[in-house]
Amino acid sequence: MDPLSGGRVRLRFYGEGRLPVNYREGLQAALYLALPQHLGKRLHDEGLVAGRRPMKFFVFSRLQGLAYLREEKAFLAQGEVVLYFASALAEVLGGLARGVWDRGGLEVHGVFLRLLGLDLEPLPKEAGALVVEALAPITAYRTQGGRTVYYNPLNREFPLLLEANLNRKATALGLAAGGLSLRPLGFHPRQRRLERYKGTWVEGWMGRYRLEGPSHLLRLALLSGLGAKNSQGFGFVREVGG
C-alpha cells in the first residue's frame, strides 16, 4: 500500500456569526468529532504512530474568508468560508470527509458552518521543487532548559527543524529520509503570528517559501504540514507554483 495514500480536500461552508481569535481550538475539536469515534479517540489520545512524539498525520488551514473585527478582537463569518484539510493517510482523510458530509457541516464555538461543497484537490505531479504558501502559521522551536525558543524563517535553525520534522514523519511511514531546502520569498516581520492555543502562546510564520527536495518529501509536506503542531492547525501549506 502506498504510505502516502491520503490526500487533500477543500471544504466550502456558509456561516454567520462571531468566532474568538483562538477559534482553532474549537475547530480542532469539531474535526475530531467529525471523525469516526474509534479513529478520533485514537488520534486524540495516542496518535497513529506512538512514541516520544506521537504522530497524527493530518493538518488543516485557517478558515479562509473571515473578517477580523479589531475592536472586538474576534472574527466574523458572514457568507462563504473555506477550510483545507489534508492527511497522508486515506483512513483519516476519508473518515473526516464522510463525517463532515453526514453532519452537513461543522459547529465551531457555537457557530454552525453549513457545508456547501467538498472537493478532493489534486496534488502536484512529482517534482523536486515547489513554491508554497502558508495557510496556517509554520512553527519551529526547540525546548532548552525548560524554555521554548522559537525561530523565524531567516534563522538557520528554521529549515533544519522543518527538515528534521519531515524526516521523522517519513521514517514513521517507511519512507526514505532526505534533505529539504527552504527559502522564504518576500520575508516580512508582519508575517509573524503569535497565537494562543490552550493557554500557551505559539509563534508561527505565514508567507511564501520555495522548497526543494525529494518529491515524496514535498508531497508529505503538503499532506502532513511543515514544522510542529500540525494537528493543532499549524503548518498547512499549499502549492502556488513550481
Backbone angles phi, psi at 94, to 5 degrees: -65, -40
CATH 3.30.70.1890 residue ranges in the chain?
7-121
Predicted pLDDT at 50: 47
Predicted pLDDT at 145: 83
Query: Could you give the CA distance from residue 38 to residue 4 in angstroms, rounded to a whole number?
Result: 22
Q: What's the start-to-end Cα distance of the chain, in Å?
A: 28
So what's the architecture of 7-121 in CATH?
Answer: 2-Layer Sandwich (3.30)
Radius of gyration of the chain (CA): 17
The answer to whether domain 129-241 has CATH 3.30.70.1900 is: yes
Query: Could you give the CA distance from residue 135 to residue 119 in angstroms, rounded to a whole number?
Result: 17
Write the pLDDT tens digit of every residue in 159-200.
999 999 999 999 988 899 999 999 999 999 999 999 888 888
CATH 3.30.70.1900 residue ranges in the chain?
129-241
Strand positions, DSSP E, the chain: 7-20, 58-60, 67-69, 74-87, 105-108, 111-121, 129-134, 141-144, 147-150, 181-185, 192-197, 200-205, 208-212, 237-241
Predicted pLDDT at 49: 60
Q: What is the mean pLDDT of residues 28-34?
A: 94
